[in-house]
Amino acid sequence: MAGPLAKLSRRIVALAAFLVPAADRERLKQEWEAELAHRFRQERTTLAAWSLLRRSLGAIPHALFILKEQWSREMISQDLRYAVRSLVNRPLFVTAAALTLAIGIGANAALFSVIDAVVLRPLPYPEPERLVSVFESQDDKGGRRDSPAPGNVLDWNRYSKTLEGVAAWWVQSTTLLGDGFDDTEEVPSALVTVHFFAALAVEPLLGRTFTPSEITGQAKVSVLSYELWQRRFGADPDIVGKDVRFKNASWQIIGVMPQSFRTPGTLRGEVQLFKPWDLESAYGERPNQARDWRFLRAAARIAPGFTLTEARAEMDTIAASIAEDHPKTNHGWGVELVPLKDALIGNTKLALTILLGAVGLVLLLACANVTSLLLVRASGRSREMAVRTALGASRMRLVRQLFLESFLLAGVGGALGLALARIGVEVLPRFAPAGIPRIEETVLDTRVIVFAVLASAAAGILAGLAPAFQGSATMLSETLKSAGGTVSTDRRRHRLRSLIVGAEIAAAVILLAGSGLFLRSFARVLAVDPGFDPDNLLVVRMRLDGEAYGGGGAHPYYTRFLEEIRALPGVVAAGGATGLPMDALDTDFDRPFWRAGEPRPEGGGAGVQIRMPTMGYFDAMRIPLLEGREVDIRDDRSRPRVLIVNETMARRTWPGESAVGKRLHIDYQDYEAIYDVVGVVGDTRSYGPKSAPKPSVYIPHGQNAYLPLNIVVRTTGDPLLVAPLIRQTALAIDPAQPVHSILTMEELMGGYTGQDRFAAFLMTLFAAMALLLATIGIYGVVAHSVSQRQRELGLRLALGARSTDITRLVLGSGFRIAAIGALVGLAGAVMASRYLETVLFGISPTDPLTLITAAAILMGTVLLACYLPARKAARLDPTLTLRYE
């Protein structure tokens, strides 16, 4: 028994000895080891042996004590000074290493700031985790979320105990009148129900919000957004009690919301004015419309003491009983509660997380390159380390010294990185598409700085780990005798560097593959035929004031406005529709339909999308007319209702037959009215390029005029050149009715393609960084190995090797590393592919062509990088290298 225990106790003493400086090591060993061995020999009982073993543990506190003395004596500051001095002496090395880390840390910090703003930070409401978005969903629609209908919202509020109150709102547009001509403007405003401010629980900055009696009484009072108060009312501190002037009335201002307040689902400051809205009085007398006009935005706060699951269960029960009471409108409809944050962020979170993973890999690559640099440096310093060891420095001391150096590098890199991130934080949101919620809140704040500091510390440890332990491992006598580094440690270092570079290449292949996939996915998105010609198309959004143009004024106004636009120079065609394809601004709605002579389906069945085009709309959009006729000047209220259907609608409703001449019921105007189909037009992508065309019908604007209209203007040249003329035309017709906004069709489509563009852009940027870093990495390893092997290569040349053999030899060494790295990278890309599945469009995440191209690009670049040292090796002069010692 004593034998193994004695051995164990020797181990413990050896460990203690390892901790202390070499100068003290022998004495410590002597004091402990010999005496212990002596006593172990004397002791016969196991018990005594155990107590000896326990005593040998005392060597560790002894060693730690000696170490502590040493550290406090020599002071960290001395090491620090030494580290600073040794770095300052090598400005080129420091610049290379610090810049490499700066790029990695900067890119990470910038992207983190975006993710922090969009995903991590809580929503700007108290107890945001209790807020849910409320949707209606139809079972047979595969759970597609629909907006709730007013009558259902009223019932939910009546019966629900788990929700504190379902708030509903509707974003519209209001014309504010000024004293003069210029300050008349259209602002986005929201009609809000009694629970709106209560559910969001944000206190006003000034004044108060609506009281229940103001809501039910439809009082003429309003609450301003911070932006409107600042901009239009000059931040007047006494604004409460003053009036805001609309077309035909003056409303009293009762409050101002704080700057941080936002209406869910809108950008900050987008909704500028809030008006009270009573669903009961607005829809109480229209029971049918109240239940299946599904158009509201709704949110609620889960009551204290209830969970989301309980609320969902209760709402399911309530929805079921509503469906039972009102089968015509609610059969098959349920309620869906989605945590507000999830509803707002949606798919963005996954895409951003993938990007964060990608940029994390870039930082790892940067660390790997710095490690590689440090390892090269270590082989040049092995004499220095040996001398320091001989003079009594402990291994710990050298490790500490080397770590201090890598930490210093990481510190400088982190500081530079933050400066880069500062730029990134400004630039990234500008590149970002409009679809990313909350991105305008991106700031470089303490959280980002803390992240950057942590990233730098991690980088310092990561980059310094291998060099610190490799660099401090010295073979004393060997190193001191030989001129340069020793052969065996150098070989070990070279192997380690090759391993690191191989890993870098694997990571670079993964990123290149990711970038290739995102780019091809984006190309597929762009290649989708939208069903119309988007070039040279201007979009003019109009929202006529209801007071002035309600009751039949809208159609004459738009007819005249369009005629005047068509007469403008540079305009080829113009028309308008209530909703445009590829428009992320979702103004559409679906209504139940059925063929003439058939019964109405229960619960509405699958709906059809309805849009109201004016004359000339299909022509201006270049949506092909396949059959029958277009919207006509005769299509007004005095004539029978007509419809133009799209191809999908025609095919699905009357398969194998011509749709023209058929009749269709739509539960829309005058409940269950019947329409004659007069034409069939081509499909368009209503909900962006990623979703297939859906059945749509077009009702002529003249038969069902709408106040808001999206006018499309086809121009001969740059469409934006016409924009000022159109604004003037509108004001010339009615000075109190300005244009809401003007944008190009390209910009409008960006709402759908922007996220793909952003992801592809960032992924490619990161992949390029990775490629660059990996290339530098492999170049460094191969070049260093050539300079180390000069004698050997010279000898080969002297013995008759041709320079092509040498080139091949050097290229081969780089190629081997790269090939293995690329294979591992491909395997990694395949493994990571399942995370990409949902964010890619029209391409498999394991698309072989993309993966092989990524590997090929990398191999090509690597060979180019290796060619430089290979050529240098081939041109070595054997006589010189052999003579040199």
Partner 1 sequence: MRRWGQAQIRVLESVIGGTGYGFDIMDTTGLPSGSVYPALSKLEKSGLVRSRWENASVARREKRPPRRYYEITPSGREALFSALADARDLARSLAKAVKEAG
Residues near partner 1 (CB under 8 A) are 27, 30-32, 34-35, 37-39, 54-62, 65-66, 69
Shortest Å, Cβ 72 to partner 1: 11
Cβ atoms 152, 235 nearer than 8 A: no
Encoded tokens for 699: 């009702």
Residue 857 structure tokens: 């690009």
**Residue 841 near residue 525 (C-beta atoms within 8 A):** yes
Whether 874 and 804 have beta carbons less than 8 Å apart is answered as yes
Write down the least CB distance from residue 41 to partner 1, Å: 9
d(CA 313, CA 308): 9
Q: Which residues contact 631 (CB under 8 A, 6 or more apart)?
A: 613, 614, 615, 616, 617, 618, 644, 698, 700, 701, 702
From the CB of 63, what's the least distance to partner 1, in Å? Answer: 9
Give the separation between CA 272 and CA 296, rounded to whole angstroms.
18
CA dihedral for 467, 472, 475, 480, sign (positive or negative): positive
Q: What is the dihedral of CA 835, 840, 844, 846, to 10 degrees?
A: -40
The identity of residue 170, as a single letter, is: W
Q: Please give the C-alpha separations between residue 382 and each of 378, 488, 777, 780, in angstroms, as whole numbers.
A: 6, 12, 22, 19
Measured from the CB atom, is 72 or 804 closer to partner 1? 72
Nearest to 476 by CA among 537, 391, 419, 581: 391
Among candidates 715, 741, 718, 646, which has minimal Cα distance to 685?
Answer: 646
Reading the block at residue 255, the tokens are: 């409050």
The answer to whether the CB of 576 falls within 8 A of the CB of 631 is: no
Is the separation of the CB atoms in 785 and 778 below 8 Å? no
Q: Are 330 and 291 in contact (CB under 8 A)?
A: yes
Report which of 583, 588, 577 is spatially closest to residue 530, judged by C-alpha positions. Answer: 583
Q: Which long-range contacts (CB under 8 A, 24 or more apart) does 739-744 make?
A: 739/186, 739/540, 739/541, 739/542, 740/173, 740/186, 740/541, 740/542, 740/543, 740/708, 741/540, 741/541, 742/538, 742/539, 742/540, 742/541, 743/538, 743/539, 743/541, 744/537, 744/538, 744/539, 744/719, 744/720
Q: How many Cβ atoms from other residues are within 10 Å of residue 657's Cβ?
A: 11
- Backbone angles phi and psi of 410, in degrees to 5: -65, -35
Nearby residues of 482 by Cβ (< 8 Å), 6 or more positions away: none
Which of 28/664 has CB closer to partner 1?
28
**Residue 95 corresponds to which tokens in the numbers above?**
């610049």
Task: Quote the least distance from Cβ 8 to partner 1, whole Å.
Answer: 15
Strand-strand pairing, 206-207 and 185-192: unpaired
Tally Cβ neighbours within 10 Å of residue 207: 16
Cβ closest to partner 1, residue 27 vs residue 491: 27
On whether the CB atoms of residues 696 and 729 are closer than 8 A, the answer is: no
Q: Which helix (H) or strand (E) holds 803?
A: helix 803-836
